[in-house]
Amino acid sequence: MLRLAFLIPALLLASTAIATADATVPTADKKGAQDSPLLKRYDGSFIVVYEKKGFAEFTLPLSKLEKVPDKRNRQNNRYYEPRNKKALEGMYTRIIYVIPENRSPLEVLRNYQDEIRQQKGQILFECKEAECGGDPTRNSEGGGGDMSLAMYLYPFERLTEERFTTGHCVMSAKIRDLRYTAASLPESGAHVSILAFSVVAPDKGDGCLALNDRTVVILDIVEAKAREQKMVTVSSGEMAQAISSGGRVALYGIYFDFNKADVKPESDPTIAEIGKLLKESPSLKVLIVGHTDNVGTFPFNMELSQRRAAAVVAVLTSRHGVAKDRMAPVGVSYASPVASNRTEKGRAKNRRVELVENAPVAR
């Protein structure tokens, strides 16, 4: 027993050491990451998070965050949003750099502003610390308080980096000396969001300790680009044939805004063909199955896919007169991919709605 008593604390101490050793000061870029051709990196910095989408939406703050009465986000934080903002759509890139030591967020941000002006760009909005609104000490993670600017730019549910890794720490650790700039680059038709801060992780037991006092820069870049219309509307006859032969049909003509469940008007042709299919086959019952890519957590995407499936059912019921009991909405998050989620091309294939024949066999 005495030997065991000494063993348990030793094991706990070892596991703690392992957990706190995960985050490290980077010495190379994350594999597959690269600078945006629109903005140079600060000398000596390394990329620790990289995300690129061929077409996405992003809201650029153009004024301080202000509290919205009686509204909270998914982590039960009091909700804040800017009164002035610009909704953007296009090619989206997020790059997070860890800056060399002894460089302040202000110094780094001023360098980026100089680079923007050299490109004849325009600074649209800038702020620091409490002037930005919300809680200036919080990153994208945390609940039960005030929202932060980092949360507004990139909600917690979108974090996919493994906990206590460098990539996760730069989006979750406490912060100080917050600096922000929103800018436009007219010659390229792009908009840029630049968030700079210092990481606060002074405790020895903190998994982000290695990054304490290091400046981090988060770039969100949206380049104006028309959405590619590649998906052909599947006819009701083609749907019927696919269901008859394989029990299901995947549809890519139903569109939603990022992280939202409202069916967009561009979906009308496909929705109309589904309505026609169900009218032409009055005995057919289907599962309306929502599928997502893996951007964000599995539980968040589970809820999102369920709400999207339910939204399709609601449109078919209200606009096309399909009886609700013939359709069952099902959300499966990213549990059933048809391609790798490691590329934008694969993620696009995984974002879909499927009709699955719902004809249970009696036991």
pLDDT in tens, 58-80: 999 999 999 999 999 999 999 99
Q: Most distant CA pair in the chain: distance in Å?
A: 77
Q: Is the pLDDT of residue 14 over 80?
A: no
Nearest Cα to Cα of residue 159 among 298, 353, 11: 298
Is 120 strand, coil or helix? coil
Average pLDDT, the chain: 89
Q: Is the pLDDT of residue 110 over 80?
A: yes
Read off φ and ψ for residue 89, nearest 5 degrees: -140, 140
Token pair listed for 206 = 């903190």
For residue 17, the model assigns a pLDDT of: 37
Mean per-residue pLDDT for 89-118? 96
pLDDT in tens, 121-140: 999 999 999 999 999 999 99
For residue 342, the model assigns a pLDDT of: 84
Q: Is the pLDDT of residue 120 over 70?
A: yes
Distance CA 125, CA 183 (A): 7
Distance CA 173, CA 134 (A): 16
As a whole-number percent, the residues of the chain with pLDDT over 90 amount to: 72
For residue 288, the model assigns a pLDDT of: 97
The answer to whether the CB of 120 falls within 8 A of the CB of 38 is no
For residue 228, the model assigns a pLDDT of: 57
Q: Is the pLDDT of residue 217 over 60?
A: yes
- Burial environment of residue 51 by CB neighbours within 10 A (0 to 12, 13 to 18, 19 or more): middle
Whole-Å CA distances, 229 to 89, 93, 233, 257, 345: 15, 21, 11, 15, 14
Q: Is the pLDDT of residue 2 over 70?
A: no
For residue 102, the model assigns a pLDDT of: 95
The 3-state DSSP composition of the chain as helix, strand, coil percent (nearest 5) reads: 30, 30, 40
Task: Report which DSSP code applies to 137.
Answer: T
Distance of alpha carbon 240 from the chain centroid: 35
Mean per-residue pLDDT for 324-345? 92
Q: Is the pLDDT of residue 42 over 50?
A: yes
List of residues 6+ apart from 206 with CB closer than 8 A: 20, 173, 212
Give 146 or 230, the one with higher predicted confidence.
Answer: 146
Return the domain boundaries, the chain: 22-224, 236-357
Whole-Å CA distances, 227 to 53, 90, 153, 230, 345: 11, 7, 22, 9, 14
- Residue 355: strand pairing partners: 249, 288
The answer to whether the CB of 98 falls within 8 A of the CB of 216 is yes
236-357: what fold?
60s Ribosomal Protein L30; Chain: A; (3.30.1330)
Strands 190-200 and 215-224: antiparallel
pLDDT in tens, 189-203: 899 999 999 999 999
Strands 215-224 and 248-251: unpaired
Token pair listed for 133 = 């609104």
